[in-house]
Structure 1
Amino acid sequence: MGAAGSSALARPGLPAPPGPRWLGVAALGLAAVALGAVAWRRARSRRRGRLQQVGTVSELWIYPIKSCKGVSVDAAECTALGLRSGHLRDRFWLVINKEGNMVTARQEPRLVLISLTCEGDTLTLSAAYTKDLQLPVKTPTTNVVHRCRVHGLEIEGRDCGEAAAQWITNFLKTQPYRLVHFEPHMQPRNSHQVEDAFSPTDQIPYSDASPFLILSEASLADLNSRLEKKVKIANFRPNIVISGCGVYAEDSWNELLIGDVELKRVMACSRCILTTVDPDTGVMSRKEPLETLKRCHEVCRTSSSTACHLILLMIQ
């Protein structure tokens, strides 16, 4: 599921910011995260600044089109509005209906079968049994800018053209859709209007609530031990996957350091029905893994009945 800018992360010798907050990346400008980067936890003790190794970055994912297939990358820049690798930025493209409302895999599960990749100055839309469509990286400025709505909040998006609209419409075969692109000069949405825990200055493009989501392999493995049909990391759509930590260890990660990126934890991410969409078939079961998460939430020690120990992050 898935903001930018928050007050500065507490550093050694400085008091922590009051009240609950979402994870924040305390960095000015850009910071990089790469596969193999060690994740450190800042211990809560009198020795402020003491670090304990808690894991290693095993996977990095960018989801260019909201609800569509992710792109695995070896390294990425952490920007105020999400991960970036070259021209690909996380959830900077969005499918909308004729009213301008966002369309996600909650309404169109087969969106998870569509991918957007980039080579040079060319974007490519792909899906099985469908001819690829190539688009220019830079959307022509003559294309119309739509007033879109994401979770009820207005945001702009430049239309990617008739060819992209027809390609997506023909693939989904339900109703007319269009593809729009968020451009850096456009005004992002305000995260505080999505969740009260955000600062009034926190912003996001098309992500649900936050530009970063972290998941541990251990927590997913524990969930799968309770499921008859295993689920994948892709069911939960995290940006950063951590290996080498204990089961549900992320529940105690209040301050993290990964590479040059400092993170601050605030709360777990409640999971929605999108997690029940099979990322390989685009079929929604509407049951698992949510039903198992609800049954075991007390064992998992989470405050949300459908949280799978995924943590939202923010950059500032």
Structure 2
Amino acid sequence: MGDPRLLLLPRPSWLLALASLASLALAAAWQWARSRRRKSRRSSPLLKPVGTVSGLFVYPVKSCRGLAVQSAQVTPLGLRSGDLGDRCWLVIKEDGHMVTARQEPRLVLISITNENGYLILSAPEMKDLHVPATLSNKNPVQNCRIFGFDIQGRDCGDEAAKWITAFLKSEPYRLVHFEPNMSPRNANDLIELFRPSDKIAYPDCSPIMVLSEASLEELNSRLEKKVQIRNFRPNILVTGCGPHEEDTWDEIVIGDVEMKGALACPRCIFTTVDPDTGIMDRKEPLETLKSYRLCEPSKRHIYKSSPLFGWYFGIDKSGTVQVGDIVYKIS
């Protein structure tokens, strides 16, 4: 039987109340079903375990040394650990054009930590630089240029600019920070294989890059001088799968995070920078990768002559990932 109080209402009100109760019941049922789907997803035969997360890396300042973490938030713009968002700081020229290790290889020698609300930059023979993770609104906003597209960044101040310039022994450079209220870039403006929902701050083109240990081992088996995972700067490193299996993961689930594969990561001269010395070799491991990791002819309009190593992902559902999490492929 229905609620007897409904009989005391005038007919129009009774109908409205009944409709309201029906709507609430429908919404509750939908939420329950959605929750059930999420809880049961990991036991679903559609989810196949394909590996385990063995490393998580955040690169707060583009081209500078990465920070290994045990857990990280996965946001629509990529990994975040505390105040440190992936590639949320950028070195620029005074005219706003980005500066990376392609132009200044010694950027890879700058390490980043976070303490008491400050971003701390450390480099050989330099006194540590402390930059507030949250800048004053009095700091000017710079218009920056990345691969021909505009994006904003709040200037980190003259002290940071002098520090970067002194370490690199370069023309005047500045450091800027992408803030949450700023408009990100659209990944599919760069490469159409990304979706309109895939957004980025200062990364080249993708929120997340996944690489397997087996892919690195396969490459090193072909090299006279071995290279490190730091040459390739993945966000998520996976163990327990075969070489380049990550290329086949169209959709994956890690922890409570869901990600959609977009395309392979085309490699450039940056990979030839030694992460321990900051010296660019300009040859290896790029030449060896080109000997066996070029795309098939039908995809040359996308990748051109760049060898492929690792896989780019967009974010479908934010959450937290941890080292030790199982990686599931949705099949």
Partner of 1:267: helix, strand, or coil? Answer: strand
The one-letter amino acid of 1:237's match is: R
Looking at structure 2, the residues matched to 128 and 228 of structure 1 have their Cα atoms a distance apart, in angstroms, of 28
Aligned to 1:290: 286
Query: In angstroms, what is the RMSD of aligned CA positions?
Result: 2.1
The match for 2:264 is 268
- Distance in 2 (CA, whole Å) between partners of 1:222 and 1:302 is 25
Counterpart among 50, 57, 66 of residue 53 in structure 2: 57
Q: Paired residue for 2:122, among 108, 116, 126?
A: 126
Instruction: Quote how far apart the aligned CAs of 1:98 are.
Output: 1.1
Alignment of 1:164-243 (within 5 A): 164-243=160-239
Using the TM superposition, give the Cα deviation of residue 299 of structure 1 relative to its aligned residue in structure 2, in angstroms.
Answer: 11
Alignment partner, residue 315 of structure 1: 315
Deviation at 1:300, TM superposition (A): 11
After superposing the two structures, state which structure 1 stretch, 300-309 or 105-114, moved more. Answer: 300-309
Confirm or deny: 8 A CA contact 2:267 2:309 kept in the other structure: no
| Separation in 1, partners of 2:146, 2:295 | 34
Between the aligned partners of 2:80 and 2:296, the Cα distance in structure 1 is 32
Q: Quick check: 2:61–2:90 contact (8 Å CA) kept in 1?
A: yes
Asked if the contact 2:194–2:262 (Cα under 8 Å) also holds between the matched residues in 1, the reply is no
Following TM superposition, by how much is the alpha carbon of 1:298 offset from its aligned partner in structure 2, in angstroms?
6.4
**Distance of aligned partners of 1:302 and 1:169 in 2 relative to their CA distance in 1, 3 Å threshold:** farther
User: Per-residue CA shift, 1:214-245, capped at 9, x if unaligned?
Assistant: 00000100000101111111111000000111
Greater alpha carbon shift after TM alignment, 253-262 vs 124-133 = 253-262
State how far apart, in whole Å, the 1-side matches of 2:198 and 2:215 are: 28
| Contact 1:219–1:308 (8 Å) recurs in 2 | no
- Structure having the higher helix fraction is 2
**TM-score (normalizing by structure 1):** 0.81
The whole-number CA distance in structure 2 between the counterparts of 1:73 and 1:100 is 31
Please give the TM-score of this superposition, normalised by the length of structure 2: 0.78
Question: Which stretch of structure 1 is more off in the superposition, 251-260 or 108-117?
Answer: 251-260
Alpha-carbon deviation of 1:203? 1.8
Which has the larger Rg? Answer: 2
Name stretches of at least 5 consecutive residues in structure 1 with no aligned partner. Answer: 1-39, 43-47
Q: 1:137-194, CA deviations, whole angstroms, 9 ceiling, x for partnerless residues?
A: 2111101100000111000000001110000000000211000000000111121211
- Worse-matched range after superposition: 241-250 or 95-104: 241-250
Q: Is the 8 A contact 1:191 1:210 kept in 2?
A: yes
Partner of 2:95: 99
Q: CA deviation at 1:263?
A: 2.2
RCO greater where, 1 or 2, for CA within 8 Å and sep 6 or more?
Answer: 1
Distance in 2, matches of 1:176 and 1:168, equals 8
